[in-house]
Chain A
Amino acid sequence: MEKNIYRPIKCEVIDNIKESPTINTIVLKPYEEFSFLAGQFASLTVPGIGEAPFTPSSSPFDKEKIEFTVMKTGRVTEKIHELKKGEIVGIRGPYGRPYPLEKFKDKEVLLVGGGVGLAPIRALFLALVETYKDYKKIVFCCGARTPSDYIYKELIFDKWQKLCEKIPLCFRITVDKRDENWKYMEGVVTVTLSNLDMDIKNSVAIVCGPPIMMKFTTLKLLEIGFSEENIYLSMERKMYCGVGHCRHCMIGELFVCKDGPVFTYQELKDKPNIWV
């Protein structure tokens, strides 16, 4: 019989890491080969509970395991947070249009991630690091509400910063509200975009975060000279099939599942209610 597009691949939960009070990263070992490109997503089945789309946060180059960083917001995500080692879940995909790395070649790349929006950015960042010679430089702007809301703390505050010594990379890190030990910037993520040491005309920006953050980040990027076609947004909508059949994820005539989830601002700017 032909391939059934709805049948997931079985995966074993090999770890479930607490990142912040509301966000966990689950580490899965797929029983069959599964590969994806940064920005693509997969549908994750928690048996008997439901299925929801997530963009993997692990490196696309890692063929052994796949990670999803998930914020607890509803029925399925709540159960994901409770998954224990050895439990079986399902994934199907990958779906959608990835970040077009070929278009980033010889350019300066600005990554802007807020909160759980750092998840897809992490997969992209890891892919960029693997191929760093292709880009002039990488500027990574991160934001979260408070220091404890940061995900990937060990990576952002330690391991990844050490890479700056070896490759053309720098970090700009902020929180909406600091605490007494905070040594980076304070303010919403757009504060990291002032006085950027970048050649804007030869740069691309990749933005992922809550809708309000993406909105104001996009407006700021336009203000500092980024063109609409060089701003890449990762969009989220209610989604079931992932393959352009069920029509739940449509933004105007576009499908988030197959035309996206990565869109340029130019593609979206005239569409209805994009900042939801």
Chain B
Amino acid sequence: MEKLYIKLEDWQGFIKGKLEGNRIYAPVENNNFLFYEILNEKNLEKVVYDKARTVEPLKIFLYPIKEFVVPEIENIENIVVMGVTSCDLKGLEILDSVFIKGDYKDLNYKRRRENLLIISIDCKEPYNSCFCNLVGINPYPEKNFDLNLSKIESGFIVEVGSEKGKEFIGDDKRFYRINETQIKNLEEDRKKVIEKLEEINRIFNLKDFENLEGMYQKEYWEISDVKNCVSCGSCTFNCPTCVCFLLEDTSDDGNFKKVKVWDSCLFPGYAKMASGETPRPTLYDRYANRMLCKYWYMKDNFDIIGCTGCGRCISGCIGKIDKRKVLTEVLSRKIKV
């Protein structure tokens, strides 16, 4: 797709012009972490374009923590989300597969998806918990965006990813054609980020994760790190591809009302039936289920693995469980058996 260049201050001016008539979210730094904020003239210059992923996954804009599914929501507004990284764009493929690509379409998700414009960025400073390279994803967006910003020098290379993105730019004269040197610099920058990721993940080996197929037995998962799981659900709520939810009925007077609320397969009551029985009674069964869901079930269901290497499950874990370490160990157990 078309690639353009724009200077940082011109981009800020461009976005400033878009504030009216658009609700725009972008990452702003707070205590060394990036959180989405609604942009206004005051925080516009605080937007971070050259670091890494945000704390919240992109799914919060499409699939809120709690929402009514009955009755139907009347207005779903158009939003622009800036600063989305490659890992979250990959996560979007799982969300789409679950909510709109099958026989049954989730109305709220579908409408929000149609009303979303995504301005992604290249990841420049991956965290120690990042491992997209281990799951076959590059730290720079290659698809699923409307516009992508790659920070170079004192500006951005802007890649147009869709008609919607092209329209957003319109014929704004602040965007230039890029030159060969800029492309070369970008390629070198991107290579350096990949090298950094390789260095971060040198000691982990997930390359045979398809071997997890069939590893239901909890004995494989009974390792000391997993024992530290406190079933808080942080890894699932922070995950860009975890989709589990429950439905609550709050109907009254013959008017049906249903609320959809995020749920987590790590909660002991998640699969508990009315009989009181659960097919996953131990922590290890539940931990195994989450891993198998990511690396096998979703692959089987949608032909894409459910992990994007964003590392939120690692950085957000209260029990300090490093999934990469667990998987490296579990996979080595399989080889021994």
Query: Which A residues are closer than 8 A to B by beta carbons?
Result: 1-8, 10, 45-52, 73-74, 76-77, 88, 90, 211, 236-238, 240-241, 243-248, 250-253, 255, 270-274, 276
Contact = CB atoms under 8 A, between A and B. Distances in A.
A238 B69 contact: no
Contact of A6 (B98, B246, B247, B278): B247
A5 B254 contact: no
A250 to B, nearest CB: 7
Contact of B249 (A3, A51, A255): A51
B69 A6 contact: yes
Contact of B274 (A52, A247, A276): A52
A276 B277 contact: yes
A273 B216 CA distance: 9
A172 B83 CA distance: 67
16 contacts: A7-B256, A8-B70, A45-B256, A46-B249, A47-B256, A51-B258, A52-B274, A76-B274, A90-B256, A237-B273, A241-B247, A247-B243, A250-B289, A252-B216, A270-B214, A274-B279
Contacts of B272: 238
Contact of B72 (A1, A8, A248, A255): A1
Contact of A244 (B104, B216, B252, B273): B104
B104 A245 contact: yes
Given A246-B244, A248-B270, 12 more contacts: A4-B70, A45-B249, A47-B256, A90-B256, A211-B277, A243-B103, A244-B98, A244-B104, A246-B247, A272-B279, A272-B285, A276-B279
B275 interface: yes
B280 interface: yes
Contact of A250 (B102, B256, B297): B297
Interface in B225-257: 243-252, 254, 256
B297 A253 contact: yes
Identify whether the interface residues of B are mostly helix, strand, loop, or mixed.
Answer: loop
A245 B103 CA distance: 11
A87 to B, nearest CB: 9
A244 B297 CA distance: 12
Interface size class of B (residues with CB under 8 A): 35 or more
B248 A272 contact: no
Contacts of B216: 252, 271-272
A176 B217 CA distance: 34
A253 B216 CA distance: 11
Contacts of B297: 250, 252-253
B178 interface: no
A10 B254 contact: yes
A25 B55 CA distance: 50
B327 interface: no
Contacts of B277: 211, 276
Given A90-B256, A247-B293, A248-B271, A7 B70 contact: yes
Contacts of B140: none
A2 B178 CA distance: 43
A12 to B, nearest CB: 10
B164 interface: no
B245 A2 contact: no
A245 B258 contact: no
Nearest to A257: B104
A88 B105 contact: no
A273 B107 CA distance: 34
B244 A5 contact: no
Nearest to A52: B274
Contacts of B245: 240-241, 245-246
A246 B262 CA distance: 9
Given A47-B254, A238-B273, A273 B280 contact: yes
A47 B248 CA distance: 10
A50 B248 contact: yes
B279 A273 contact: yes
Interface string B280-303: 100001000100110011001100
A50 B257 CA distance: 10
Given A4-B69, A245-B99, A246-B263, A238 B270 contact: yes
Interface in B161-210: none
A50 B252 CA distance: 11
Given A47-B252, A246-B247, A251 B300 contact: no
B110 interface: yes
Given A90-B256, A252-B297, A273-B280, A48 B273 contact: no
Contacts of B72: 1, 4, 7
